[in-house]
Amino acid sequence: MTTLRGVLIGCGFFAMNHLHGWRDAKGAEIVAICDKNPERLKIAGDQFGIAKRYDDAEEMLRKEKPDFVDIATTVPSHRALVELAARHGVAVICQKPFASNLADAKAMVDACAKAGVPLMVHENFRWQSPILKVKEIVDAGEIGTPAWGRVSFRTAYDIFAGQPYLAEGERFIVEDLGVHVLDVARFLFGDALNVSARIKRVNPRVKGEDVATALLDHGDGVASIVDCSYFSPAEDDLFPQTLVEIDGTKGALRLGANYQLSVTAGGKSRNLDVSPPLLPWATRPWHNVQESVSLIQQHWVDCLKNGTEPQTSGRDYLQTFALVEAVYQSASSGRTVPLAGLLA
Ligand code: NAD
Ligand code: 89V
């Protein structure tokens, strides 16, 4: 079996999870890394034994001619780096937030399509094993067809300690975290037709909004509520757990605190512990997110090898990205925003 040669751009806070995931991936290895910050480059290169190190992404792609590039930088560099990969004919994974705005996201998807290179957004929440279990139960029809749902992420965890830039942007929770929960709603209930939302900044230390509530209309009367908060100081902080409630035509399920899942159908309930495994390199409470990094990266390798489209390909992900834009537009106008207008 051939091993795909990958390179990584951005060796910061979250890229360390990518590098662990790549080390575990079957059928791929990271042969070179790039960061403009020499300190980050050295830490990552030394920890993962990667000798080829670059401070310039273009030089790395030109010299290494990799099978794929994994972009783990923050959003301001994403468009330029995705378009660079497309010019070099290199398949590309890009971290979320995918782009600064919907026009950039569409341009990035177009650039990769024109160059004929696969593009996947690293949208990992749908790859968390508790969420995969929920999806499996829904798809098996045990609770019938979902008629109502809620996807919720509420915490007071100090996310700014590891990611200080999150406190500085005009936009915060919807763009950064809401995108994950909106994508989970899409994954479970299908694409949305219309969105109504409200957002609010509560924490004075943060520039953007840190609380958001959205109502997604999935058509045929099916609705879901997506809510997220980084200012929810409950006694039992569940960071970084995503909670799910679904009422279906034949039953209901609840993915509650601490990965406890209950499924009720035909008057009977069963309870499952769907705790994610603690990978050898993972640390609590992040292990849920960390496992999903491994799973999405393996999905990418498998798709590249089989020539199949990844779940959150650039083309597919415009639907998720448009949800973010719809939330902001609805919150600022007070109106319901149709997705069709944004995706045209
Ligand atoms: P970070 O600031 O710690 O790291 C980014 C690194 O990229 C820095 O070391 C910086 O020097 C480097 N960089 C920036 N532009 C570059 C360029 N043009 N060429 C080379 N290097 C460049 O950021 P982070 O906290 O690791 O976040 C990175 C991304 O990962 C963000 O978009 C963030 O939203 C995302 N993230 C995703 C998850 C998830 O669960 N999917 C979790 C955390 C962070
Ligand atoms: O950036 C992020 O996606 C992180 C999270 C903890 C939600 O994974 O903030």
Q: 231 and 262: one domain?
A: yes
117, 150, 185 - which closes a domain: 117
Q: 336 and 198: one domain?
A: yes
For residue 329, being part of any structural domain is answered with yes
Ligand 2 pocket mutation pick from 163, 239, 287 by most atoms within 8 angstroms of CB: 163
Domain enclosing residue 242, as ranges: 126-278+321-343
The enclosing domain of 163 has a CATH number of 3.30.360.10
Q: 34 and 146: one domain?
A: no
pLDDT band at 121 (very low <50, low <70, confident <90, very high): very high
For residue 288, being part of any structural domain is answered with no
Pocket lining for ligand 1, CB < 6 angstroms:
9-15, 34-37, 40, 57, 72-75, 77, 95-97, 122, 124, 163, 176, 289
Q: How far is the CA of 165 from the centre of ligand 1 (A)?
A: 10
Distance CA 162, CA 129 (A): 24
For residue 292, being part of any structural domain is answered with no
By residue count, the chain amounts to: 344
Q: 188 and 94: one domain?
A: no
Which residue, chain included where needed, has tokens 């341009």?
107
Residue 121: CB within 6 Å of ligand 2? no
The enclosing domain of 59 has a CATH number of 3.40.50.720
Q: Average of pLDDT values for 62-87?
A: 98
Distance CA 4, CA 45 (A): 19
Q: 64 and 30: one domain?
A: yes
8 Å CB contact between 210 and 202: yes
Q: 98 and 179: one domain?
A: no
DSSP label of 332: H
Query: Is residue 15 pLDDT above 80, yes or no?
Result: yes
Retrieve residue 267's tokens: 């008057």
* CA-nearest residue, atom 5 of ligand 2: 177
Distance CA 295, CA 29 (A): 15
- Summarised one tens digit per residue, pLDDT across range 159-215 is 999 999 999 999 999 999 999 999 999 999 999 999 999 999 999 999 999 999 999
Residue 10: CB within 6 Å of ligand 2? no
pLDDT band at 110 (very low <50, low <70, confident <90, very high): very high
Question: Could you give the number of structural domains in the chain?
Answer: 2
pLDDT band at 72 (very low <50, low <70, confident <90, very high): very high
For residue 301, being part of any structural domain is answered with no
Alpha carbon distances (Å) from 21 to 178, 210, 298: 24, 29, 8
* CA-nearest residue, atom 36 of ligand 1: 14
For residue 293, being part of any structural domain is answered with no
Q: 113 and 130: one domain?
A: no
Distance CA 320, CA 336 (A): 17
Residue 75: CB within 6 Å of ligand 2? no
For residue 299, being part of any structural domain is answered with no
Distance CA 244, CA 283 (A): 23
Retrieve residue 112's tokens: 């990769």
Distance CA 34, CA 280 (A): 26
For residue 265, being part of any structural domain is answered with yes
- Summarised one tens digit per residue, pLDDT across range 248-269 is 999 999 999 999 999 999 999 9
- Summarised one tens digit per residue, pLDDT across range 297-321 is 999 999 999 999 999 999 999 999 9
Cβ contacts of 43 within 8 Å, gap of 6 or more: 11
Q: 165 and 91: one domain?
A: no
Distance CA 184, CA 296 (A): 14
Retrieve residue 60's tokens: 């790395």
Q: 334 and 246: one domain?
A: yes
Q: 217 and 98: one domain?
A: no
117, 149, 181 - which closes a domain: 117
Q: 257 and 190: one domain?
A: yes
Q: In angstroms, how far is CA 168 from the centroid of its own chain?
A: 21
pLDDT band at 62 (very low <50, low <70, confident <90, very high): very high
Q: 14 and 56: one domain?
A: yes
89, 117, 145 - which closes a domain: 117
For residue 10, being part of any structural domain is answered with yes
Alpha carbon distances (Å) from 153 to 33, 65, 119, 200, 285: 33, 40, 27, 15, 14
